[in-house]
Chain A
Amino acid sequence: MRVKLLLWTLCSALLIGLLAGCSSDNSGSAQTVDGKQKVTLTYASWGSTNEKKVQEQIARQFTEKYPWIEVKYMHIPGDYVTKLTTMFAANQAPDVFPIYKAQGLQWAEQGKLYNLNEFLKEDKELTPDTLIPNAILYWDKDKVAGIKVTEEAFGLYYNADMFKEAGLPLPPTQAEQAWTWDQFLDTAKKLTIDNNGNNATSPAFDPSNVKQYGVRFDTWMWHLMVPSNGTSVISEKKDKLNLEDPQMIEAVQKMADLITVHHVAPSPTQSKNIPAPAVALQSRKVAMDLDGQWVQLDLGQSGMNYGVGVLPKLKESKTTLFGEPEVISATTKHPKEAWMFYKFLLDAKSGLDMHASGLWMPVSKEWYTDPALIQQWATVKPGHPEGYTDAIMKQTLNNGVNSYEYYLKNSEKISAIINPALDQVWLGKKTVQQAFSEISAKANAEFKGTYPEE
């Protein structure tokens, strides 16, 4: 019978499976190092190839320091949440990993993450006082989901040569001297130039043929100016979204007007064909960029003459903070060791290269106050321009406000309602007030309360 071939196929398939199985499963054997039980931790993260190298280095250094703890680093280059979700479902979550803030808080609520307060209470080295404000994410009273692994803060980045050529004063770096919105708008207009060479203050300015924009921003940062207008996306009583608050509407409308009224910023459509912010500044597509400090890595590498100022203000000078938390999974078998590694990760010394490159910002306070430590990162060129210590570092410490997602429950779902409504605002089809009032009821129906601030 020729059924043999069939059987052979089946057998070989099984064989392949078995072979692959044997080679993959070799953990769990009890070993001891230095008289201590050997422990293996898994640490996962996203990031570019450069970041990956630093993460691997951190894991290696940690094992050198604590030889009985081996850290397996797992790089997840894409679909991060999908992969993590799958691993969680199979009870295989990595012990330590960074996660997007909204997801992290939600997962903590669902019991997927370890309550770090258990360690924070006891730990002598790492306490809330040693950290910069806004660094700890609570999902409930005394329940800590995670601590930001690096801080991220917004500033006003610019191409200094373009300012010089236009004969304009550079954006101020100190909060007290922050530009008013009108000063900022006026500068943006003067730096927006059409194909005929007219700038946006000229009556002959042709908004449909803009060669160089005064400023750019990402529309997912629609709430950037809300804190500066003395309000928040969440109502003061924390019982609903502030979608009808005139202050909030004004703050968002000002951003939209940059695109639809003044034509000094590219619309989301136009931005798709403007390269990444760093290149846009370098290639003079835009003169200013409202962006997070991470852009400094690319700006520094480009070799261009760039600078940073504080964000313009509406009522008071503020910056929005955006850092993503590092967390420990609730299923970890070695919480104590995971916490040791966690602290090691948060220590700016461990990833000093990344901090010095401009990509990361430390979260422990002493790195913002001790001059000897500051000069190890915040003044290192080319990743940190002149004025960085004032415009970003001090601003983060003194005037930083966490983005609303750190406090809003169900924020992913609420964003899924707000963002489509805002699409029409960026296209100039609706005012912010119209857009918000249309979805207010729907968005508030998804409002499920807030997370505590401490």
Chain B
Amino acid sequence: MQSMTETAQRRQTISKSSLSSIRRRENWLGWLFAAPAILGFIIFVFGPMIASLWLSMTDYKVASTPHFVGLENYRNLFNGTDAFFYKSLGVTLYYVILSVPLQIIVAFFLAILLNQKVKGLTFFRTAFYLPTIVPLIASSMVWLWLFDPDMGLLNIIMRALHLPESQWIYSETTVVPTLVLMSLWTVGGTMVIFLAGLKDIPDHYYEAIEIDGGNALHKLLYITIPLTSPTIFFNTIMGFIGGFQVFVQPYVMTQGGPNNGSLFYIFYLFREAFTFSNMGYACAIAWVLFIVIMLFTFLLFRTSQKWVYYEGEGR
């Protein structure tokens, strides 16, 4: 770890020198480089966002003239008039809290395994990534069979091992954990991001640990995790944002059932917006989620200063 502090010191001495004039130009050059993205945000995101915020305070039903109703939509959400709101929020939170850490751990673990020198690496990597490529419209059929309580493969295995059988997605209590389990099949994307991150760790860092007599656990704790912390951070944020917006599984496989056990937030929102045509109300539902996700992200960014290590930022 010594070499790191050394480079940091060296960096400071250089930045004090004549580079300051270049830095000054960065101010407008930076804006310019970011301009397409900022412009894109203003055109494609900001407009629709403001529109939906305004609609969330109307009784808009699509194609009818929206009437301003103030905060009524929000009141109806929170005062319990709409029994689905808290239910779906609970279901979604449960899913997020269960799935995000699991997905990160599994993906990280797989990435480490697939970063080793093993025979047939191409095969293994492709195999682990494959589930993310197959469209759910096709794979949902497999899942429905696997989860069948009577004839499904999972319960056949459970029976053979004398383990308790489960109703999987067909019971109110097990549907969310089952969908979490299923989501582990598609960690391929997260895994690939980790792989790209792991690749950038120079070998000599590990060699240094080996010379000091460290074992695999030391390597993991002192090299791998700190140096991939930006990637871990990224995947955690994306996991939260994605987890809160799970839609396809309930839409294709469970339709929110049984007994609203998988009434995910976006599914509930989508139903309000497109089945019940309550677009104004749906916008209010969306904005509540927006605030929730923003809070989560904000907290994560806050804590990130303690555990995310950027080589490029002198700290």
Contact = CB atoms under 8 A, between A and B. Distances in A.
- Per the CB under 8 Å rule, do A and B touch in the complex? yes
Interface of A: 3, 6, 9-10, 81-82, 85, 88-89, 91, 93, 103, 106-107, 110-112, 208, 268-270, 272-273, 331, 412-413, 416, 419-421, 423-424, 427, 442
A412 B275 contact: yes
Contact of A88 (B62, B256, B276): B62
Nearest to A88: B63
Contact of A420 (B258, B271, B276): B258
B83 A6 contact: no
Given A6-B36, A269-B149, A416-B271, A91 B63 contact: yes
A272 B274 contact: no
Given A89-B63, A423-B257, 12 more contacts: A3-B32, A6-B33, A6-B36, A82-B274, A93-B63, A106-B276, A112-B64, A269-B170, A412-B276, A413-B276, A416-B271, A423-B172
Contact of A111 (B63, B171, B259): B63
B274 to A, nearest CB: 5
A272 B252 CA distance: 13
A89 B148 contact: no
Nearest to B167: A269
B62 A270 contact: no
Interface in B145-181: 145, 148-152, 167, 170-172
Contacts of A442: 83
A273 B62 contact: no
B290 to A, nearest CB: 20
Contact-residue bracket for chain B: 20 to 34
Instruction: Enumerate the 4 nearest inter-chain pairs by beta-carbon distance, A residue then B residue, closest first.
Output: A423-B258, A88-B63, A269-B170, A420-B259
B111 to A, nearest CB: 33
B35 interface: yes
Q: Which of B83, B258, B279 has the most CB of A within 10 A?
A: B258
B33 A419 contact: no
13 contacts: A10-B36, A89-B62, A89-B63, A103-B277, A110-B63, A111-B63, A111-B64, A270-B150, A272-B144, A416-B84, A416-B271, A420-B257, A424-B258
A164 to B, nearest CB: 28
Given A110-B61, A424-B259, A6 B32 contact: yes
Nearest to A430: B259
Contacts of B35: 6
B297 interface: no
Contacts of A107: 277
B63 A112 contact: yes
Contacts of A268: 170
Contacts of B84: 416
A273 B153 CA distance: 12
B230 to A, nearest CB: 26
A81 B274 contact: yes
A10 B38 CA distance: 13
Q: Which of A107, A273, A421, A442 has the most CB of B within 10 A?
A: A273
A273 B32 contact: no
A421 B63 contact: no
Q: Which of B63, B151, B277 has the most CB of A within 10 A?
A: B63
Contacts of B36: 6, 9-10
B251 to A, nearest CB: 9
Contact of B144 (A88, A89, A273, A423): A273
A273 B151 contact: yes
A269 B256 CA distance: 14
Interface string B35-51: 11000000000000000
Nearest to B253: A272
B275 A81 contact: yes
B275 A103 contact: yes
Contacts of A111: 63-64
Nearest to A113: B63
Contacts of A269: 148-150, 167, 170
Nearest to A273: B148
A448 B161 CA distance: 53
B186 interface: no
B260 interface: yes
A9 B167 CA distance: 54
A272 B148 contact: yes
A9 B145 CA distance: 49
A270 B151 CA distance: 8
Contacts of A103: 275, 277
